Amino acid sequence: VVSSVHFTASDPDTLIAAVRASGVKRYLVVGGAGSLEVAPGKRLVDAPEFPAIYKAEAQKGADFLDTLRTISDLDWTFLSPSALFTAGERTGAFRLGKDALLSSDNGSSISFEDYAIVMAGEIETPRHIRQRFTVGY
């Protein structure tokens, strides 16, 4: 059994407690791009050009990831999309990464459709237990 919960409105401890109480051992989180690094030790959310309107939510996502990294009794996975996460098409032509923002000459983006392929793949064949990873073109 896999659990997926969006963290925007709740604090990490409440959500983690709910997952534990459910008896679910695998916890997949749709993360955000803000916690990804744009340079070693420098997160996207901390960049001066990061849009102020998204900063509070991105910081909550980064805090959530920090909390998950202290958890050893759940098999959690945090999947961060690229900076631009929008409807598009299923291409199957994406790259996977760990903690660094993926970008190309066309910027940093991933479609909902390709993100979903990656999430489904992680559910079927877990490769990132107690890790964050990212997907982008």
CATH of range 2-136; options 1.10.10.10, 3.30.565.10, 3.30.420.40, 3.40.50.720: 3.40.50.720
State the pLDDT at residue 1: 46
CA atoms within 13 Å, Cβ hemisphere of 56: 5
Write the burial class of residue 4 (CB in 10 Å: 0-12 exposed, 13-18 middle, 19+ buried): middle
State the pLDDT at residue 5: 43
| Pairwise CA distance, residues 80 & 33, whole Å | 5
State the pLDDT at residue 9: 43
State the pLDDT at residue 2: 45
Task: Provide the residue-wise pLDDT of the chain in tens; the chain has 137 residues.
Answer: 444 444 444 688 899 999 999 998 899 999 999 999 999 999 999 999 999 999 999 999 999 999 999 999 999 999 999 999 999 999 999 999 999 999 999 999 999 999 999 999 999 999 999 999 999 99
Q: Where do the domains of the chain lie?
A: 2-136
Write the burial class of residue 40 (CB in 10 Å: 0-12 exposed, 13-18 middle, 19+ buried): exposed
Per residue in 103-135, pLDDT tens?
999 999 999 999 999 999 999 999 999 999 999
Output the pTM of the full model. Answer: 0.88
